[in-house]
A = this chain, B = another copy of it.
Amino acid sequence: MSDRIREILGWYRSENSGVLTNLYRLLNHGRLAGTGRMVILPVDQGFEHGPGRSFAPNPPAYDPHYHFQLAIDAGLNAYASLLGFLEAGAAEFAGQVPLILKLNSHDLLHPEQDPLGAQTASVRDALRLGCVAVGYTIYPGTAERRLQYEQLRELGEEAKAAGLVVVVWSYPRGGGISKDGETALDVTAYAAHIAAQLGAHIIKVKLPTATLEFEEARKVYEEQNVPRATLTERVRHVIQSAFNGRRIVIFSGGAKTDDATIYDEVRAIRDGGGFGSIIGRNSFQRDRASALNLLGNVISLYKEEKA
């Protein structure tokens, strides 16, 4: 076991050995094995945005096997998806890549300011499918966040007892947050902290902008001169907000963008002490060769030491 992995597992000493074992599996799989960094392929866009919007740009991605194979061939740490997609390939690809079962999902077929996902899979499903972790999305800032926190609490307790890692997607949304505020630095840090306090082992947030959403936060950030000019500084603040680096935080870039931007983001995540990337649309909405190239470059960047 590398010293870095030993250090990371050391942050989770309250957890049982099953959780530690599955954390180890996540951290020791793929090309980033042992570095303490991770790149994960998440595919829940079909449910969130519809299959056409998600997969028409790269039709082989309609096939659930495509994503398993992409995660394997790219040497990623894990593949995260929903019940149906995992059921459609878990037997064929058993053991070849760590799996994360998303336990809740949300679709966009009904207009609503405050999204509220539904539980769409169980901890027992995760065990029967051979997963190392369960995933759950919370929307801090929504009116019904309480229902989400309570469902996460219950599923998380059950998952931990069964030795599964708990990964929380924390996406601020809802009526009290402006559109820009959803990725504001104070809001992103807040979202990461809430997920950590709810008992998440791994936290996934969006990359923050330099914006500050809440007036009370702005006062403190400015008084204390919290550095936020560069993305690296902002990543550092988010990591700090997640128990001063004692919880694994990974970042997504969100919508499809150009590769140079992605690489710059990865450098910022790396240099700011982030633990890695979760790259969905930017990997499965392009052809396979291009995706493997992109993911390969991202992994290589994570392997480089900070300049």
Contacts and interface: CB of A to CB of B under 8 A. Distances in A.
Most chain B C-beta atoms within 10 Å of own C-beta, residue among A116, A142, A214: A214
Interface in A190-229: 190, 192-194, 196-200, 214, 216-217, 220-221, 223-224, 226
Interface in A1-34: 1, 9, 11, 13-25, 28
Contact of A52 (B64, B96, B145, B217): B217
Contacts of A141: 109-110
A247 B83 CA distance: 13
Contacts of A52: 185-186, 189-190, 217, 220-221, 226, 237, 241
A50 B190 contact: yes
B62 A240 contact: yes
Interface residues of A, number: 117
A287 interface: no
7 contacts: A17-B128, A46-B197, A84-B197, A117-B146, A120-B197, A120-B198, A127-B163
The 5 A-B residue pairs with the shortest CB-CB distance, nearest first, are: A24-B95, A21-B130, A17-B90, A20-B94, A63-B244
Interface of A: 1, 9, 11, 13-25, 28, 46-47, 49-53, 55-57, 59-60, 62-66, 82-92, 94-96, 99, 105, 107, 109-112, 114, 116-122, 124-125, 127-131, 140-143, 145-147, 149-150, 153, 157, 161-163, 172, 174-177, 185-187, 189-190, 192-194, 196-200, 214, 216-217, 220-221, 223-224, 226, 237, 240-241, 243-244, 246-247
